[in-house]
Structure 1
């Protein structure tokens, strides 16, 4: 897959005719996957290259600074990895700046679609473009110039609209299973295993301290059943994870959030390894214990429960 970062629209134009899925696509959830699948279908029928156009940062950074979104379900590099696995040929990343936000609808159509060798545009029903977001899919179909337009309708799961906003809420409320259902896969955070305090080792529960490598949405603080994939070997392991401030040992007001995974029956050192943490089920909120013995007893209970949850999961 060729990734093209756009500073000027002309930088996109050196490629064959394309079918283009366009949107922000944070999460690449079931609704987004429907758009991408439709784009791939249309591209194959019309013998076009498969392309996706997305934006960075989230439009709210420019358009709604009071509610700006700077953390993501799928940060840019994660998004890129998923699109490549889906078989996309070209990924266009357009900087969402004040200048871009002020672009007229017709200029957007000309510069980013018509002149960009786009023959088919595929987007969700709620996609908007142009100054003040006045352009919508109905208007795009009316104003199209050299391309066809396909609108993908709302995707629902159990009568509930699949949406990035709802998935974010679910994760932050600890509703991981519900979020995973809308994503169509377990939520994932990628990062680097770094040196921690090594306190877990002293109480019999060594942990991998994972530092996220991008600005991911963090799930609700607490304890989870997780799996961890070591990217250098491709191996996946089951474990229990605490995300939080470790209040038994730290003042939350003076500490940073950490992600610490205790991997079951694992004794290797993996400092410096890149890993992916997959979140499967919320076990309990983070809490402060009266002492080490109470903490150890609770960790043992957490481990047993996580083992039960993950027992039949194929790795």
Structure 2
């Protein structure tokens, strides 16, 4: 997949690449945060249509997410989000590099990564459509049923199709990307675990609740409806540690990426050396706790991925009373030789990916290092069993 980065000028204008001059394009537009099943349906439809038309399949990807840019402006007197990393998007499900790899896996041929700015976001959907037709040869726009674009998100499916019908310059193909209906999530991202659990019961079709009971529970916690296949719902599930439910929507285990740094090596003294991933973490960190999952390292020489079943811990070090920032530590279960000796994994300064398969337990304070070691042994055995079936 070819990737082109486009940075709007001070008036929000883009210098579009000229690849639409000789071949028309089928385009999907969005942030595609998480590249969940709904996004995949839209992207794969664009790929299929492009093949049938002899066109180029294109994903226009906004980075950073538009909501982040507007939220920053609202709290900083209308200022533009800085270009540097001083204000990282900690709510993004996936960093842009990982997002592009997932988009490529759908078969998209060309990704246009547009740096979203306030001036760019102020352009109308009619202007944006005209730019795609005139600059990159838009043949068909593929969009989800609830898709919107342009200033004030005014360009919904009906409005976009009206432009297509009036101009006859392009077509619109609408994909049902919503999944199995709608679900409720708290309005307050910091809602109590009890409130979140009650809404989870409301959302569960197998909870046994009557309609009246569902209404009563939903009224107890201020909430909003979102699509079952949506980044918002995935984010909510991860915030509750429900990584298995999130993976059902993503179509794969949720993952974060970061650089392994040196720590205090306390895990090594306990017999559980961990990869401390606390630098430049990209991706949404699930709720504090211990998870069964995978640690993926890439061989710097061959580019080959090496996967290790891992017990992954997120949070602060409760047992040792270290109120530091949240960190991710992964104990990778390394292969053993004929003598039963585990391979030494030198992962320092490597960029690794941690994938979350199943929640094991919350973070708790243990009365002694010995009690912690006993629990870690149990977590490792759980991880082996879970990953053997994953």
Question: Residues 17-43 of structure 1: CA distance to partner in whole angstroms, max 9, x if unpaired?
Answer: 211011111110001100011101110
**Per-residue deviation, 1:274:** 2.4
Q: Quick one: structure 1 residues 56 and 158, their matched pair in 2 at CA, closer, same or farther if it must change by over 3 Å?
A: closer
**Per-residue deviation, 1:270:** 2.0
Aligned-partner SS, 1:149: strand
- Indicate yes or no: 2:360 matched with 1:268: no
Partner of 2:363: 286
Q: Does the 8 Å CA contact 1:157/1:182 hold for their aligned counterparts?
A: no
Where do residues 119-158 of structure 1 align in structure 2 (5 Å cutoff)?
Answer: 119-144=139-164, 145=167, 146-157=169-180
Aligned-partner SS, 2:366: coil
Q: Does the 8 Å CA contact 2:319/2:366 hold for their aligned counterparts?
A: yes
Match of 1:55 among 62, 83, 88: 62
Aligned-partner SS, 1:54: strand
Worse-matched range after superposition: 25-34 or 151-160? 151-160
- Indicate yes or no: 2:318 matched with 1:247: yes
Match of 1:236 among 307, 318, 339: 307
Question: Residues 226-250 of structure 1: CA distance to partner in whole angstroms, max 9, x if unpaired?
Answer: 1111111422111211111112123
**Per-residue deviation, 1:158:** 8.3
Partner of 2:272: 205
**Per-residue deviation, 1:213:** 3.8
**Per-residue deviation, 1:113:** 3.9
Normalised to the residue count of structure 1, the TM-score between the two structures is 0.92
Match of 1:178 among 235, 245, 249: 245
Match of 1:224 among 275, 283, 291: 291
Question: Residues 269-298 of structure 1: CA distance to partner in whole angstroms, max 9, x if unpaired?
Answer: 221222211110000111122221111111
Question: Residues 104-139 of structure 1: CA distance to partner in whole angstroms, max 9, x if unpaired?
Answer: 222111123443211111011122122211111111
Partner of 2:225: none
**Per-residue deviation, 1:303:** 1.4
Q: In structure 2, what is the Cα distance between the partners aligned to 1:300 and 1:243?
A: 17
Q: Does the 8 Å CA contact 1:71/1:215 hold for their aligned counterparts?
A: no
- Indicate yes or no: 2:47 matched with 1:40: yes
Q: Does the 8 Å CA contact 2:145/2:178 hold for their aligned counterparts?
A: no
Q: In structure 1, what is the Cα distance between the partners aligned to 2:359 and 2:269?
A: 25
Unaligned 5+ runs, structure 2: 76-86, 184-227, 335-342
Q: Quick one: structure 1 residues 10 and 55, their matched pair in 2 at CA, closer, same or farther if it must change by over 3 Å?
A: closer
Q: In structure 2, what is the Cα distance between the partners aligned to 1:285 and 1:260?
A: 14
- Indicate yes or no: 2:193 matched with 1:193: no
Normalised to the residue count of structure 2, the TM-score between the two structures is 0.75
Q: In structure 2, what is the Cα distance between the partners aligned to 1:167 and 1:62?
A: 21
Partner of 1:5: 5
Where do residues 51-130 of structure 1 align in structure 2 (5 Å cutoff)?
Answer: 51-65=58-72, 70-130=90-150
Worse-matched range after superposition: 118-127 or 100-109? 100-109
Aligned-partner SS, 2:284: coil
Unaligned 5+ runs, structure 1: none
Q: Higher Cα Rg: structure 1 or 2?
A: 2
Question: Residues 86-118 of structure 1: CA distance to partner in whole angstroms, max 9, x if unpaired?
Answer: 322211122221112211222111123443211
Q: In structure 1, what is the Cα distance between the partners aligned to 2:57 and 2:274?
A: 42
Q: Does the 8 Å CA contact 2:146/2:156 hold for their aligned counterparts?
A: yes
